[in-house]
Amino acid sequence: MKKIYILLFSLFFVNQMFSQKKYLAKDGYISFFSHSLVEDIKADNNQVLSIIDKETGEIAIQLLMRSFLFKKALMQQHFNESYVESHKYPKAKFNGLIVNFEDLNDKNSNTEIKGTLSVHGKEKEISIIAKVIINEDEINISGDFMVEVADFNIKIPAIVRNNIAKIIKVTFQIKHKPYSK
Amino acid sequence: MVGALNSKHLTYLKTKKFKILVGVLLLFGIGLFYIINLYNKPLKNIKKSSADINISAQQLLDDYQKDEILANKKYINNIIQISGEISNIKIDNGNSIIVLKDINGESSVMCHMLAEENLSILKLKKNSQIIVKGMCTGYLLDVILVRCILVNS
């Protein structure tokens, strides 16, 4: 009788281990960089929320626009009030898929992540190359891609048109840990 | 002689025209100085600023869970000073996060601390009460405060 209980318990335990399907990050890093002849603008967001479903390779990312920190107060104010209008659109989201997730390993860690990016109330389908490193206790994604500011209805006034690039570089590095509810 | 001050120059210096010119240039200089300062102004110094709102972490969480849009209007972009019990301290890559837990549920207030607090944070213990001051940026799965410092009660 005892043996059955031990067997059941260990099966349950093993099942719990394998049902660690979701990986979560609450302090992911995303930054963007704009280079122009007049000045360079950079902002960092260290509070990115991201969930990966290990079974399907699906990924969902959310971040608060207000969490983008600039060095200069005026830049941060303009960014929030005029460009991305964070009072109207407080969050940016990405819903997508890590392509060929099952085939990823030590030697083969670069893959495509594609999906819908939603910023400033506008959605755009994007496809980017990312490095995805999968361990038992961590899934780490990183990479960078270019975004056209105009794609998201972000209007830059003529007076600062030379200060802000039309295409900006977005860099990300997000470490996910197993998450069970 | 060219380059030497003669009486014509000296008379001009005394004229109204010149004084007005100096006045305008001075104003222009001050204005320029002011604009450059404003442009280069760094983010608000949290340590030196007094908190706009003083509440408990639980109250902040309750407000957000009740009505996110209303809570955003009330808390975003304000310096919030919150008191609460430490449920977790995370240090990674030189960045520390203090998590204040929700008594009622899974949520929490995540306080992303300024690097200058790292040494003090090493001394903190789980389950102790602390007071943190920082900027609220909104709510994802938890209420998020950034640029936080520890407040000695």
Q: Can you give the length of chain A in residues?
A: 181
Pairs of CB atoms within 8 A across A/B: 63
ipTM of this complex prediction, to 2 decimal places: 0.83
CB contact set of A19 (below 8 Å; sequence gap of 6+): A180
How far apart CA A13 and CA A11 sit, in angstroms, is: 5
How far apart CA A11 and CA B122 sit, in angstroms, is: 40
Which residue in A has a C-alpha nearest to residue B44's C-alpha?
A73
pLDDT tops 60 at residue A14: no
* Mean of all residue pLDDT scores within chain B: 91
How far apart CA A161 and CA A165 sit, in angstroms, is: 8
The model's pLDDT over A38-63, given as tens digits with 9 standing for 90+, comes to 889 999 999 999 999 999 999 999 99
CB A41 within 8 A of CB A75: yes
Per-residue pLDDT, averaged over A142-156, amounts to 93
B43 in contact with chain A, both atoms CB, cutoff 8 A: yes
CB B142 within 8 A of CB B67: no
Torsion of CA B115, B119, B123, B125, to 10 degrees: 20
Per DSSP, the three-state class of B46 is coil
- Smallest Cα distance from B93 to chain A, Å: 11
The model's pLDDT over A96-117, given as tens digits with 9 standing for 90+, comes to 999 999 888 888 899 999 999 9
